[in-house]
Amino acid sequence: MFRANALFTALLLTLLSAAFALESDRDQPIELAADSVDIDEAKGISIYRGDVDLRQGTIHLLADVVTVSHVDRKPSKIVAEGKPVKFRQQTERGLVDGEAKQVEYEVASENLVLIGDAVLVQGKDSMRSDRIVYDRVRAVVKAGAAASGKQRVRISIEAPGK
């Protein structure tokens, strides 16, 4: 019983630490580079297409298309699409790599949603599902059915001491 509880605790700590961003990232400017951009100020939408490279602090995201919705000229939601979207971020506990067909980020709530062949990797630990949701404010990670997904969650955790 103790071993199962210890493993479960280690699993939770691993998954939660995988998504913790550096606090300083949020305060950094968002920089985007793309082959083209369409900006509609009246609708508050900017669409970046072609080899989109988005950076904010230690966050680095690569996608085919990134749509940024603005409220009062400030980003409110970012949706990245790709085959796949790839991202990397430095966290308090090391690098986190991720990918999915679509990544959505709600700026105000700080919710990050990975949709379609979603993968999060930190070191040799990984989580895979069709949908992974990370609520940064509450430090809660959900995947699979808990995140309104349809596929089972697959988790791989390196054995302690390796």
The pLDDT value given to residue 139: 65
With respect to residue 31, please indicate whether it lies within any of the assigned structural domains.
yes
With respect to residue 100, please indicate whether it lies within any of the assigned structural domains.
yes
- Assess contact for 129 and 119: CB atoms under 8 A: no
Q: The domain that contains 66 carries what CATH number?
A: 2.60.450.10
pLDDT at 130 over 80: yes
With respect to residue 162, please indicate whether it lies within any of the assigned structural domains.
no
- The total number of structural domains that make up the chain: 1
Q: How far is CA 20 from CA 14, 17, 42, 52, 128, in A?
A: 10, 5, 35, 24, 18
With respect to residue 161, please indicate whether it lies within any of the assigned structural domains.
no
Position 23 confidence tier, pLDDT thresholds 50, 70, 90: low
* Domain that residue 37 falls in: 2-156
The pLDDT value given to residue 155: 82
Helix (H, G, I), strand (E, B) or coil at 55: strand
- The whole-model pTM stands at 0.77
Token readout for 157 is: 């955790």
Question: What average pLDDT score do residues 58-72 get?
Answer: 90
45-54, 77-86, 120-129, 132-141, range with the lowest pLDDT: 132-141
Question: What average pLDDT score do residues 96-102 get?
Answer: 92
Alpha-carbon span 142 to 145, nearest angstrom: 8
With respect to residue 33, please indicate whether it lies within any of the assigned structural domains.
yes
